[in-house]
């Protein structure tokens, strides 16, 4: 437990930040680097606890991974040379590691057992286990293989045509990774576009993959070839500082090299619709991933309705959007977001509980929440629910509260943003 007391500070935020590398892309770079033959060099890798879980898993297969700060060098002979791990694989708090690795494990002719922390043990895995069982892999775990800990015997699997029943990039990616390692052509169809980093990176590594009209086809290939990967800054981490600049009067921040993949930029669209001034410069592309600098200044905000297809494009940003909404004029309604209940904690409950304790007027609904804007936040004692995004939302709230914000435990922030407080201090008068 690492409790923290944050003093209020209404000073404008100024300056420039280079937020850490994207978590989703970092996981995928390690997975594909390990599955590829040869050397993969990853730069601007996210040194967060979740991505380190993915690294450790492949080390247990005997893959050589050298790690120095934000650079990773992977030397692999491909999956045919992986050795059977002698110990269970530990996935910690990471849903992405668990779900994507189950896809990989389904395709490997090995026995593995996997487990996670208290939060991950409660998160549903049947959404990936169901299609992977259809492909012929064997899974066993609690509730007939719905939850970790789990045992997997993979290999010798066949391709499938699969329509995603949940809006989830993790499920899509698990099936695509299993498809890469299975006989034949696997097709995944999604009704709503979710983040497409797996598709982009598989293509960059030379996989035979085609995406058309929300349908992705991948052809079996036993090994890819190693490449160099630059990981753009994580827009989900940048979202905390974008929102901070939007709600603290007189602020102007520049966030450099932020990932701007269209399947992730819902936060920018929503902040703009609320009235924030956002400018994008220096736009470039690497490995199919757009990135650039985001300059954001405070403005008077207004409430909005957030629903439908945009939800997967900002799912992890909903806690911080809810904080912005407390400062907007009018009501903000968030719908179609019941997936929030299956994250590191039930994020609908955690956001409504936390913001209410700080003095906001927020109500939960079956699939989202309703936030009445124009609140003066008082401050107070809040729980992070061991969830990094909830902890960071509360830390940003302390920039606009009248009194201290006391967060029960901030240790979860190391999951996705180990330097969060150094960065926060560098742009406020707290530094």
Ligand X SMILES: C=C(OP(=O)(O)O)C(=O)O
Q: Report CA dihedral (17, 21, 22, 28) to the nearest 10 degrees.
A: 170
Estimate the share of the chain in helix, then strand, then coil, as percent rounded to the nearest 5: 35, 30, 35
- Nearest residue to ligand X, by Cβ distance, number only: 95
The three-state secondary structure class of 83 is coil
CB of 106 to ligand S3P, least distance (A): 17
Q: How many residues does the chain have?
A: 431
CA dihedral 307, 309, 315, 317 (to 10 degrees): -70
Nearer to ligand X, 200 or 251 (CB): 200
List the x/- string, 76-105, binding to ligand S3P by CB under 6 A.
Answer: --------------------x---------
Does 170 help bind ligand S3P (rule: CB under 6 A)?
yes
Q: Which of 161, 316, 387, 408 is catalytic?
A: 316
Look up 353 and say whether it is catalytic. no
Q: Of these partners, ligand S3P, ligand X, none, which one is at the site of residue 389 (CB under 5 to 8 Å by kind)?
A: ligand X
Q: Judged by CB, which is closer to ligand X: 157, or 352?
A: 352
Q: Which helix (H) or strand (E) holds 188?
A: strand 185-189
Give the residues lining the site for ligand X (CB under 6 A).
23, 50, 94-96, 316, 343-344, 389, 416
Closest CA relative to residue 194, chosen from 321, 341, 314: 314
Distance of closest approach, residue 167 Cβ to ligand S3P, in angstroms: 6
Cis peptide leading into residue 149 (ω within 30°):
yes
- 409-429 in b/e form (b: 16+ CB < 10 A) is bbebbbbbbebbbebbeebbe
Residue (96 or 159) nearer to ligand S3P, CB: 96
**Distance in Å, CB of 60 to ligand X, minimum:** 19
Show binding-site residues for 3-phosphoshikimate: 23-24, 28, 168, 170, 316, 343
Binding map of ligand S3P across residues 326-355, x = CB under 6 A, - = no contact = -------------x----------------
Alpha helix ranges (H) inside 39-94: 49-60
Q: Is 24 in the site for ligand S3P (CB under 6 A)?
A: yes
Nearer to ligand S3P, 242 or 400 (CB): 242
C-alpha span between 292 and 357 (Å, rounded):
36
- 8 A C-beta contact, residue 236 and residue 91: no
Helices 197-204, 23-35: inter-axial angle, 10-degree rounding = 40
Return the number of the residue (260 or 393) whose C-beta is nearest ligand X: 393
Site for ligand S3P in 177-216 (CB under 6 A): 195
**Which residues are catalytic, by number?**
316
Applying CB under 6 A, which residues contact ligand S3P? 24, 96, 168-170, 173, 195, 315-316, 339
């Amino acid at each position: 437990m690492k409790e923290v007391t944050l003093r209020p500070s209404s000073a404008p935020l100024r300056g420039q930040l280079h937020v850490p590398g994207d978590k989703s892309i970092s996981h995928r770079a390690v997975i594909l680097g390990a599955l590829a033959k040869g050397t993969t060099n990853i730069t601007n890798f996210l040194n967060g606890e979740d991505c380190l879980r993915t690294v450790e898993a492949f080390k247990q297969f005997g893959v050589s991974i050298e790690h120095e700060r934000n650079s990773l060098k992977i030397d692999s002979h491909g999956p045919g040379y992986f050795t059977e791990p002698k110990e269970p694989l530990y996935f910690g708090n990471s849903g992405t590691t668990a779900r994507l690795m189950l896809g990989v494990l389904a395709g490997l002719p090995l026995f593995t057992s996997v487990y996670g922390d208290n939060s991950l043990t409660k998160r549903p895995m049947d959404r990936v286990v169901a299609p992977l069982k259809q492909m012929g892999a064997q899974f066993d775990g609690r509730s007939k293989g719905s939850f970790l800990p789990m045992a997997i015997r993979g290999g010798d699997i066949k391709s499938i045509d699969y329509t995603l029943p949940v809006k989830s990039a993790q499920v899509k990616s698990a099936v695509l990774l299993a498809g890469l390692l299975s006989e034949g052509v696997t097709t995944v169809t999604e009704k709503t576009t979710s983040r497409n980093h797996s598709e982009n990176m598989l293509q960059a590594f030379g996989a035979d993959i085609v995406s058309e009209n929300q349908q992705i086809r991948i052809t079996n290939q036993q090994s890819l070839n190693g490449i160099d990967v630059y990981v753009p800054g994580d827009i989900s981490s940048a979202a905390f500082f974008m929102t901070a600049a939007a709600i603290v009067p007189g602020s102007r921040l520049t966030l450099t090299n932020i990932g701007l993949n269209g399947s992730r930029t819902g936060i920018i669209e929503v902040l703009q619709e609320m009235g924030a001034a956002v400018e994008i410069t220096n736009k470039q592309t690497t490995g199919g991933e757009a990135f650039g600098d985001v300059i954001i200044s405070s403005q008077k905000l207004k409430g909005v309705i957030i629903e439908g297809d945009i939800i997967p494009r900002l799912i992890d940003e909903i806690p911080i959007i809810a904080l912005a909404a407390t400062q907007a004029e009018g009501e903000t309604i968030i719908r179609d977001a019941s997936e929030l209940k299956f994250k590191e904690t039930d994020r609908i409950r955690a956001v409504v509980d936390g913001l209410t304790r700080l003095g906001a007027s927020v109500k939960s609904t079956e699939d989202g929440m309703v936030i009445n804007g124009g609140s003066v936040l008082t401050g107070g004692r809040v729980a992070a629910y061991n969830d990094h995004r909830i902890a960071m939302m509360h830390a940003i709230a302390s920039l606009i509260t009248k009194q201290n914000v006391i967060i029960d435990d901030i240790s979860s922030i190391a999951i996705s943003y180990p330097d969060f407080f150094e960065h926060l201090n560098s742009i406020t008068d707290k530094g």
